[in-house]
Amino acid sequence: MLAALAGCSADTTVAEEPEPSGTSSSATGTATDPGESAQPGLDPAYAVDAPGRFKSLPRTADIVVQTQETIDEDTIAAIEALDGVAAIERLSLLQVSIENRVLDVAAVDPATYRRYAPRELPQNQEIWDRVAAGELAVGKAVAKRLPLDDDDFVALTSEVPPIHLGVKAPQITNAVDAVVNEKWGEALGATPGNALLISTGLTAPDAVVKPLAKLLPEDTSIERLDAVARYGLDPDAVQTAQVVGSLSDAIGVFTYRPIGGGRIAPDPAWVRTHISTQSVPILGDVTCNNAIFPQLRAALEEIVTAGLADEIKREQYAGCYYPRFIAGSTSLSNHSFGTALDLNVPGNLRGTVGEMDRVVVSIFKKWGFAWGGDWRYTDPMHFEMARIVRPG
């Protein structure tokens, strides 16, 4: 990404829904009101500042790095300068043993680490408020194995007080079982800044791994997190997607290879015949599927005529053709076909009502576009071609 598109897809299904742990209103229970973060019974000594409203763009977590010692500033700067490194998140990784089970714990800054969380989790304010307040976040499978007391507290080590299990939610990687804030990490003895999450943007992670390894100690763990690595996809195998329905003529037979980082490489012949860059009102030059241009141009012209051109911010347009999987899956995004576009991104993140003018929305719908703001889990930046409409 820049990771604008990673938060946007036509898939609204979440494989594992995040949920607060417990609903007790007793002195040691969790909050009953969504969004409330400071829970009774929590020690303020283990709290950090609440992260506030999420205003950033989500990023892909493509590589996780773990070393034995703190990664120094010069090395961080050198990694940031590598070709293909789009963003870095510093954190601490450590292990704790609970009843003969090893738990891999990430001590993080909730305000910035959330950008890399899967699916809709970056926008789930309650999760990050709870972590900031000093609660534990784990996956559901891990939660079932924890020796919790009656109030959902668990002792991670004998040197620190029990921590409250606040959230059950999917984690970024199998290398992380649980997430705590940085104060808890310090109390648990974590080595500060001994790990990195790296987003490679449009670059395949494989291209970054070798130069990255040269900058780090020999015993460094470097793990790829992209779909090719996660799902065991063969980057040399050609895949075929046969689109049916009203858009089949616009897309036809679509073949591609997975290239890492959640991205794909469509058949160059398909790209030559289906994708082009053309000028449209308000946005200027955009790269999309050839079939979308007549109705996209008509919709934008009507928005101009209605005096609503200022409601679409050209500088906040996040793209149309972007060949990739839906985040956290092996399903293709409509951006892969060039039949979807993202508008006014900062104010229209996933899981929010958004700020999109509803007359603008209605005009797009008139011209055959579906709007992500109507989905069960909203994506109000997203408009996708739902049917072919030819201007008269």
Which SS3 state, helix, strand or coil, does residue 388 take?
A: coil
Report which residue type is found at 33. D
Report which residue type is found at 344. N
Q: Which residues contact 392 (CB under 8 A, 6 or more apart)?
A: none
pLDDT digits (tens, 9 = 90+) for 28-41: 333 333 334 445 46
Q: What is the CA radius of gyration of the chain?
A: 23
Separation between Cα atoms, residue 392 and residue 376, nearest integer Å: 33
Evaluate if residue 55 carries a pLDDT over 70.
Answer: yes
Cβ–Cβ under 8 Å, residues 294 and 391: yes
Give the residue, 192 or 353, on which the prediction is more confident.
Answer: 192
HSE value, Cβ hemisphere, 13 Å, CA-based, for 194: 20
Tokens of 332: 């293709």
pLDDT at 272: 94
Cβ–Cβ under 8 Å, residues 318 and 345: yes
Q: Which residues contact 342 (CB under 8 A, 6 or more apart)?
A: 4, 5, 8, 317, 318, 319, 320, 381, 382, 383
Report which residue type is found at 297. R
pLDDT at 228: 52
Residue spans of beta strands (DSSP E) within the chain: 19-20, 63-66, 87-98, 101-108, 136-138, 153-154, 163-168, 178-181, 195-199, 221-224, 239-242, 253-260, 263-266, 275-280, 284-289, 340-342, 369-371, 382-385
pLDDT digits (tens, 9 = 90+) for 225-269: 755 545 444 455 555 555 545 677 778 888 888 876 567 889 999
Separation between Cα atoms, residue 159 and residue 358, nearest integer Å: 55
pLDDT digits (tens, 9 = 90+) for 291-346: 999 999 999 999 999 999 999 999 989 889 988 877 656 678 888 999 999 999 88
pLDDT at 179: 96
pLDDT at 263: 74
Q: What distance, in Å, lies between the first and last C-alpha atoms of the chain?
A: 37
* pTM given for the model: 0.57
Q: Distances from the Cα of 200 to the Cαs of 111, 235, 314, in angstroms?
A: 20, 17, 25
DSSP 262: T
pLDDT at 10: 33
Q: Please, what sign has the CA dihedral across residues 184, 190, 196, 197?
A: negative
Given the DSSP bridges, would you call strands 136-138 and 163-168 parallel, antiparallel or unpaired? parallel
Residue spans of beta strands (DSSP E) within 143-262: 153-154, 163-168, 178-181, 195-199, 221-224, 239-242, 253-260
* Long-range CB contact pairs, 68-72, < 8 A, 24+: 68/191, 68/194, 68/217, 68/219, 69/191, 69/194, 69/217, 70/191, 70/192, 70/193, 70/194, 71/193, 71/194, 71/195, 71/196, 71/216
Phi, psi of 97 (to 5 degrees): -110, 125
DSSP 172: S
| Cα diameter, the chain | 74
| Average per-residue pLDDT for the chain | 82
Separation between Cα atoms, residue 114 and residue 159, nearest integer Å: 28
- Tell me the domain boundaries of the chain: 14-225, 239-385
Distance between alpha carbon 262 and the CA centroid of its chain, in Å?
11
Given the DSSP bridges, would you call strands 178-181 and 101-108 parallel, antiparallel or unpaired? parallel
Tokens of 99: 């009843």
Provide the percentage of residues in the chain whose pLDDT is more than 70. 82
Q: Is it true that domain 239-385 has CATH number 3.30.1380? A: yes
Residue from 199, 113, 97 nearest 146 by CA: 97
